[in-house]
Amino acid sequence: MSAPINVVGGGAWGTALANAATAAGHPVTLWLRDPEAAARLDAERENPRYLPGVPLQAGIHATALSEKLAGARATLLVVPAQTVRGVLEALRAPLASAGPVILCAKGIERGSDSFLSAVAEAVLPPGTPVAVLSGPSFAADVARGLPTAVTLAATDPGLAASLSALLSGPSFRLYHTDDVRGVEIGGAGKNVLAIACGIVAGRGLGESARAALIARAFAELMRFARAFGGRPETLMGLSGLGDLVLTASSPQSRNFAFGQRLGAGASPEAASGGKLAEGAFTAAALAGLAAARSIDMPVAQAVAAIVTGRAGVEDVIAGLLARPLRGEMD
Ligand SMILES: NC(=O)C1=CN([C@@H]2O[C@H](COP(=O)(O)OP(=O)(O)OC[C@H]3O[C@@H](n4cnc5c(N)ncnc54)[C@H](OP(=O)(O)O)[C@@H]3O)[C@@H](O)[C@H]2O)C=CC1
Ligand SMILES: O=C(CO)COP(=O)(O)O
């Protein structure tokens, strides 16, 4: 039997990616930090907490996270963005011989304001190949084998191409690029902007307002990407426009749903509903990075102000609508 693919993290996206890697023809080891949850998942073949109703494919072995990761063809790291550094530090030694590390979280690290590829480069042994996977892909869709396309980025174009081929299956298509920064900015940024779109929906401001917001939010994401070394054409692709369109228009998105509840009057603490809304953690980092380089990002700044409790929804909306008129492409 060929070497397995490691998937570290047994939440919605880790479980879905395990199914997708199995459909691509690989044995998969799915590593969970909670040994009891791992044993249950392995026995019951379903992840009722994170992905109810979707069977775990037969080629997946779910087990407790340990240092026995070595010998895999690749390791997908599928934990929340704010935990990536800690997990990489804990697994630093075995990850040196567990194939390329593929970062699947979407976010920017708070405190350090670091992109996740930079976190990985700082933590992992020098020379460990690192890639980023991102794009419009609800876990429930991917886990069920519905057609999905995402982007796989690595600075070495050959590695990006070979990992895309490795993980692509009958309904899960990976496109590849060497623009790591562009791909991770698209994934991290769209979560923040999806919260804004949810707020507009929750406040009942109408479909026209939401369409305008998507377009203006995308314009500011492009400005941010240009300033931080991402290529504009990357942002026009799956991990940018594609993912923004998906998550800015569907209550299936946890970030959109979080925004909807904020728009309807919930506090930032209450609005998550116990689900991961990555944009809430990334908003301040995105806004802070933009401000430090004088990049105009009013939508991201507005979301950061709301989720950190510095401003209320009504004031923020009034402020956005009162901004001076300007040329659309200025
Ligand atoms: N869900 C989706 O549709 C998609 C998600 N993503 C991205 O993937 C990332 C993960 O999201 P998702 O799987 O949905 O999140 P979930 O909330 O569904 O699951 C998070 C998982 O991470 C585990 N985890 C949390 N902290 C740690 C830690 N310190 N060490 C080990 N495991 C940990 C949790 O374990 P425990 O249960 O023990 O807490 C849980 O298994 C996010 O950045 C998200 O943006 C990307 C594309 C699609
Ligand atoms: O990133 C995702 C889809 O591409 C999942 O979005 P949410 O985290 O908002 O649910």
Average pLDDT, the chain: 96
- Residue pair 102/131 in contact by the 8 Å Cβ criterion: yes
Nearest alpha-carbon partner for 201 in 235, 167, 250: 250
Nearest alpha-carbon partner for 54 in 14, 82, 88, 89: 14
Assigned token pair, 312: 């209320």
- Residue pair 10/61 in contact by the 8 Å Cβ criterion: no
User: 78 pairs with which residues across the strands?
Assistant: none
Q: Which residue has the higher pLDDT, 272 or 163?
A: 163
Return the ligand 2 atom nearest residue 187 CA.
Answer: 1
User: 175 pairs with which residues across the strands?
Assistant: 151
**Of the residues 243, 262, 281, 303, which should be mutated to test ligand 2's pocket, given the most ligand atoms within 8 Å of the CB?**
243
Q: Are strands 46-47 and 28-32 parallel, antiparallel or unpaired?
A: unpaired
| Residue 66: predicted pLDDT | 87
Assigned token pair, 53: 């109703």
73 lines ligand 2 (CB under 6 A): no
Give the CA distances from residue 283 to residues 100, 243, 302, 307, 316, in Å, rounded to whole numbers and listed in that order. Answer: 29, 17, 9, 8, 15
**Of the residues 40, 79, 92, which should be mutated to test ligand 1's pocket, given the most ligand atoms within 8 Å of the CB?**
79
Side-chain-side CA neighbours of residue 263 (13 Å): 22
- Calculate helix-pair angle for 254-263, 180-202, nearest 10 degrees: 30
Q: What is the tens place of the pLDDT at every residue in 94-150?
A: 999 999 999 999 999 999 999 999 999 999 999 999 999 999 999 999 999 999 999
Indicate the SS3 state at residue 62: strand
Number of H helices, E strands in the chain: 16, 12
Cα 326 from Cα 32, distance rounded (Å): 50
Assigned token pair, 271: 């609005």
106 lines ligand 2 (CB under 6 A): yes
| Residue 117: predicted pLDDT | 98
287 lines ligand 2 (CB under 6 A): no
- Residue pair 217/223 in contact by the 8 Å Cβ criterion: no
Measured in angstroms, how far is the CA atom of residue 97 from the centroid of ligand 2? 30
Q: Whose CA is nearest to atom 8 of ligand 1?
A: 105
Percent of the chain at pLDDT > 90 equals 94
| Residue 330: predicted pLDDT | 83
Q: Whose CA is nearest to atom 17 of ligand 1?
A: 276
Q: What is the tens place of the pLDDT at every residue in 190-231?
A: 999 999 999 999 999 999 999 999 999 999 999 999 999 999
| Residue 1: predicted pLDDT | 67
In this predicted structure, the answer to whether residue 91 has a pLDDT above a threshold of 90 is: yes
Average pLDDT over residues 241-259: 96
Residue 72: CB atoms within 10 A of its CB come to: 22
- Residue pair 67/97 in contact by the 8 Å Cβ criterion: no
Q: What is the tens place of the pLDDT at every residue in 261-314?
A: 999 999 999 998 899 999 999 999 999 999 999 999 999 999 999 999 999 999
Measured in angstroms, how far is the CA atom of residue 83 from the centroid of ligand 1? 9
Measured in angstroms, how far is the CA atom of residue 257 from the centroid of ligand 2? 10
Secondary element (H or E) of residue 64: strand 60-64
Q: State the alpha helices, DSSP H only, in 91-206.
A: 92-95, 116-123, 139-143, 157-167, 180-202
Pocket-forming residues, ligand 1, beta carbon under 6 Å: 9-14, 33-34, 50, 78-81, 83, 86-87, 104-107, 137-139, 276, 278
Cα 5 from Cα 23, distance rounded (Å): 12
Return the ligand 1 atom nearest residue 104 CA.
Answer: 8
Q: Which residues are tagged catalytic?
A: 190
134 lines ligand 2 (CB under 6 A): no
Q: What is the tens place of the pLDDT at every residue in 3-49?
A: 999 999 999 999 999 999 999 999 999 999 999 999 999 999 999 99
| pTM of the predicted protein model | 0.98
Measured in angstroms, how far is the CA atom of residue 80 from the centroid of ligand 1? 5
Assign 322 a pLDDT band (cuts: 50, 70, 90): confident
Amino acid at 16: A
Give the CA distances from residue 319 to residues 260, 322, 330, in Å, rounded to whole numbers and listed in that order. Answer: 19, 5, 19
ipTM value for the complex: 0.99
Measured in angstroms, how far is the CA atom of residue 65 from the centroid of ligand 2? 24
Amino acid at 82: Q
Cα 164 from Cα 74, distance rounded (Å): 11
Cα 190 from Cα 241, distance rounded (Å): 8
253 lines ligand 2 (CB under 6 A): yes
> Which-ligand-closest: CA of 250?
2
Return the ligand 2 atom nearest residue 150 CA.
Answer: 4
Measured in angstroms, how far is the CA atom of residue 41 from the centroid of ligand 2? 23
